[in-house]
A and B are shown apart, each in its own frame.
Chain A
Amino acid sequence: MTETATAPASLDRDAVEALAARFGDPEWLLKRRLEAWRLFEEAPMPDALSEEWRRTDVSKISLDGLAPFAPARKAIEGVGGLPPELAAFLDENEELAGRIVQHDSDVVYETLSQDLAAKGVIAASLQTAAREHEEIVRESLFTAVTPAEWKFLGLHGALWSGGCLVYVPKGVEVELPIEYVVGLTAERTGIFPHLLIVAEANSSVTVIQEDISSEIAGFVSGAVEVIAREGSNVRFVDVQRLGKQVQNFTTMRALLSKDASFQGILLGLGGELTKTRLDVRMDGEGSETELLGLFFGDDDQHFSYYTRQDHVAPRTESDLLFKSVLDDSASFIWNGVVEVRKGAGESAANQTNRNLLLSDKASASPTPILEISAYDVARCSHAATVGPVDDELIFYMQSRGIPANEAQEMLVDGFFSEVLDRVPSERVQDRVRAVLDTKLGR
């Protein structure tokens, strides 16, 4: 197996063993990888006729010729050490509590404030943590997201590498964000990043994941797991700015204990084809979820989101607000389920999706779904709209001297503001605004 340690093998079972050997995975982890590989092999490829995939061009999705992992990447001293096309996305001086940088299959940089390390906070390569903090990783890894869910998660379970563990001990509040960067430069290579966040009771943390790439035909199948224990407060921001030829399949799921709160913010800007599943399971009484999404597509970018607000325990609350702006031939799909289970009395849920079309060829298809089994739901509502920029608004703004193109820009900004205004951290707000400005070419 040493032969394959640096050269990518073909996508087969041997590749799984080669990967584990290259990174020195413990035996228990290799066993899990091989089990996931079996699930991958048994599962079918996305089916064009299924409800889940029928609006996505599955003919574009193929595993043929995909390398299972990338050649080893060298450790760096800071984000400036990344290839320039990745470094351009990042600020070396960003004020952060910690930063974990994955370049293709390897974590190449790890840093965490000493103060937090002293309090027992961990922000580290997940693969390293599997050896050094085995008890935490072994207990929590693949408890929220499992390789059995669908084919590409099976593949992810077998071949994930690098990754990031964020662990916050009981009662510790991490004020600055911790950032996990996933940067791709490997052509036609499977990259399988995994973020595991474990927030112990009454702790709080913000984790920002940055997905970036060079202009390559890339393939990502990632997972994000959030375990939020009693009374904890977790905020997760995903900034997806992959290149326009990258396909991205990611499953994110948060499990909330009693009185835990979770805020998930998705910013979808890049990628050729993005398929993201975001679920929150509110297992604990009084837990709360807020899901916010901002998406901006142009050219023929395709975004498909599936969300599930799963109310298991009583008096749980969830609210989703997704907004997309679509230009050219970009398409956006959102299927959002609110499930209020029998035992989840007095719970409240809302979901809202608004889509602004800047071109006749752009499209959005929102589908909100309510599955209510509880008898005594406090409140449950949903709304979805799709439409072009209102000409009357443009005329009104023009009548004040503002040119039509500037008026449209202001309306797009305004459209996104409603979401941004709900992001409590100004730091995160500014960052998202800056990313949007770049996308809008300002």
Chain B
Amino acid sequence: MASNDAPLFKVEDLHVSVEDTEILKGVDLVVNHGEVHALMGPNGSGKSTLANSIMGHPRYKVTKGKVLFNGTNILSLTPDKRAQLGLFLAFQYPVGIPGVVMGNFMRAAMKARRGEDVPVREFRKLLDETLDLLKMDPSFVRRYVNEGFSGGEKKRAEVLQMAMLKPEMAVLDETDSGLDIDALKIVAEGINALRGPDLGVLVITHYQRILDHITPDKVHILFDGRIVKTGGPELVHELEERGYDWITNVEGTDASDAGAEAVGAGVGAGKEKA
């Protein structure tokens, strides 16, 4: 699906401000087709800002940098255009949409994603299979989007939407938060079922536990608006044992802009501020 040899998804020196406070201070990241990356970091490191900026939330102002999707900079596109291209964001806090029924919502979204109406039978079949995969009750389709859903239902609904919209690149913003272990397993299984050579995934999480179920190809650690460390899955366990203080201290011992250096061997290695 990739056009020429551009990576599926590339974030380049991304700087983002919220109400004049700079939150992201130069993030670099590359996710190729078929890869699952984990982005970990303590509270306030800028994880959700990254997720929202990628999707184009109007509150987050990109002051510098690029987000390339199949080689095209998508930063000037509205969120719906980004989604139509095949970008997906699973929200940390999905909002309730009173009066809009899940089934109608999904049909409108699929129509937008495909650029044409989805035949009813095909829609129904896909929906039934996905509900089954995520162990969700069929009545769910007749409920208002996210309204009165439990925490677990909301997260499953996000994965359901991802499964139906078949994105090329999915960003999962703390999809594990607020889930008990059973719900976490179902959600992780759902995501694993969607893994494949055409899909890139960025799993954003504070905790390692979802990564016990979804093994990432690469792990990045975000701290104070920069990716300060990148490694393989073993980084998750290192972090588990040593905690975020370890990273904080690495950062603390270096000079103020040491973040970029700490990335070192990681994906961000190409970034060298002149």
Contact = CB atoms under 8 A, between A and B. Distances in A.
Interface of A: 390-393, 395-404, 406-407, 410-411, 413-418
Contacts of A414: 97-100, 144
A48 to B, nearest CB: 37
Interface in B134-166: 144, 161, 165
A422 to B, nearest CB: 12
Contacts of B88: 399
Interface in B75-108: 78-80, 82-84, 88-89, 91, 94-95, 97-100, 104-105, 108
Contacts of A399: 55, 79-80, 82-83, 88-89, 91
Contacts of B98: 414-415, 418
B112 interface: yes
7 contacts: A399-B88, A400-B80, A400-B108, A401-B83, A403-B112, A406-B108, A418-B99
Contacts of A400: 80, 83, 105, 108-109, 112-113, 161, 165
A402 B58 contact: no
Contacts of B124: none
B99 A395 contact: no
Nearest to A395: B57
Interface of B: 55-58, 78-80, 82-84, 88-89, 91, 94-95, 97-100, 104-105, 108-109, 112-113, 144, 161, 165
A407 B112 CA distance: 11
A2 to B, nearest CB: 58
Given A402-B112, A404-B80, A410-B105, A396 B99 contact: no
B58 A395 contact: yes
A393 B109 contact: no
A159 B88 CA distance: 64
Contacts of B91: 396, 399
Contacts of B94: 396
Contact of B112 (A401, A415, A416): A401
B112 A390 contact: no
A418 B96 CA distance: 14
Contacts of A417: 99-100
A418 B82 CA distance: 31
B79 to A, nearest CB: 4
Contacts of B104: 410
B108 A415 contact: no
